[in-house]
Structure 1
Amino acid sequence: MARGSSAASDNVDAMNKTDIETLFSRLRAANPNPRSELQYHNAFELLVAVVLSAQATDASVNKATPALFAAAPTPQAMAALGEDGVAPYIRTIGLYRTKAKNVAALSRILIEQYGGQVPGTREALEALPGVGRKTANVVLNIAFGQPTLAVDTHIFRVANRLGLAKGKTPLDVEAKLMKVVPEAYLHDAHHWLILHGRYVCKARSPDCWRCALADLCPHQPKTARPAA
């Protein structure tokens, strides 16, 4: 059962192993095959989509990328478009000028250094323009099947709110999650936690009344079902 009752993450007791197992077994039962909500067809499109999603919603990225990927489905085609050619396709996405520059630049690097393929190591990915640890973790997990955890604002909030992995920085939360998430759930853990934070355990008003984890969660006060 839940430990403690404070809503402040610093005062939330750490979740025990039994509750962690229960938490992930419930998330898996509700969504056995979780997937990223970004739309892509290959590792290159995934990489570009994740770069574009920084400080933007997946929905906004998905509105822009079909036309972009139709025009430039490969690093070669994207590099040929260049920054000025990419920009009009992603104008509706925040920071689009910087992102257009990064997408064009990383495409050139993929051609020059990796034969047009997306590299499968953290070091190589993080050396690409616009790619940080979170982006690298997403690509490594989805494209290469590695058990990584990409800690975004949703995972950061959910991990702290539940007492699953308390930390003051995304890197701290990531390190703790890697230690406490059972191996059987590790590959899909970041998908489950992101989706849970996006649609149920929301920042301002979590939907506690429909949360499958409510009995494991110390967050108070619990939100009630809205009036009909």
Structure 2
Amino acid sequence: MNTTKRREIFTRFRAANPRPTTELEYQTPFQLLIAVILSAQATDKSVNLATRKLFLVADTPEKILQLGETGLSPFIQRIGLFRTKTRNILATCQLLIEQYNGEVPRTRTELEKLPGVGRKTASVILNTAFGEPTIAVDTHIFRVANRIGIAPGKNVLEVERKLLKVVPDEFRHDAHHWLILHGRYICKARKPLCHQCLIVDLCEFKEKNLEGTASSLDMKQLT
């Protein structure tokens, strides 16, 4: 895919959604950190259902640590891998208190030292909480980047590096959110909704689901 196509893709994403953000609900960097840890192999909807109740009771490292495993588990037990996540969250809260005065660190190296925090989670925190132009590659973004041809790669790290290289600077901060939303609602895994896609004429996917697609003239008018 050439530079002109990439720029047009993000120009259209921006026009349709000028201020994209995460669908996880949070008020502070710490709340976002907990939500992202919980979101691994879980839906944002299920995480929000859990954190709405949890954060009313405990919304700081100190308060969550006071809950302990038996107190925290009931809030998140409907989320996948909740036992492991319970232990990771409590260990993370302990480290935040002991090493960072209860605050979420602002560097990738420090973030990735926290239990339950890998590269993707760190990238989300850096981008969404602290405004850095990182791109966190999850399954949606990995699929979209490869399928539409914007940044193909064999693994998430390769896709991330390519995206950081090819996405124009002006779009880099919001690229993560545009791509994940596109993958979640339009460019779905099993049956992409190409007939609803605002970049269908730019996408390089060879097996488009074009049933019901507007004419090229209509597409230009829509975008």
**TM-score with structure 1 setting the length:** 0.91
Alignment pair present for 1:147 and 2:147: no
Match of 1:4 in 2: none
- Structure 2 unpaired stretches of 5+: 214-223
Aligned to 1:102: 88
Letter in structure 2 aligned against 1:93: I
| Cα deviation digits, residues 13-45 of structure 1 (max 9, x gap) | xx1000000000000000000010000110000
4+ runs deviating over 2 angstroms? none
Partner of 2:17: 31
Q: Distance in 2 between matches of 1:51 and 1:85?
A: 18
What is residue 225 of structure 1 aligned with on the other side?
A: 212
Q: Equivalents in 2 of 1:27, 1:83: separation in Å?
A: 42
The Cα of 1:196 is off from its aligned counterpart by 0.2
Compute the displacement of 1:166 (Å): 0.8
State the partner residue of 1:112. 98
Partners of 2:60 and 2:204 in 1: CA distance: 47
Where do 1:67-216 residues align within 5 Å?
Answer: 67-216=53-202
Q: Does 1:52 align with 2:17?
A: no
- d(CA) in 1 for partners of 2:48 and 2:170? 30
Kept in 1, the 8 Å contact 2:54–2:75? The answer is yes
For residues 70 and 136 of structure 1, the distance between their equivalents in structure 2, rounded to whole angstroms, comes to 25
Structure 1 unpaired stretches of 5+:
1-14
Whether the 8 Å CA contact 1:84–1:100 is kept in 2: the answer is no
1:85 Cα offset (Å): 1.3
**Residues in 1 aligned to 2:36 and 2:185: alpha-carbon distance in whole angstroms:** 20
Deviations 1:82-115 (A, max 9, x none): 2221111001100000001111110111000000
Higher relative contact order (CA 8 A, sep 6+): 1
CA distance in 2, matches of 1:47, 1:60: 16
Aligned pair count reads 212
- Aligned 8 A contact 2:144 2:187 in 1: yes
Q: TM-score, normalised by structure 2?
A: 0.93
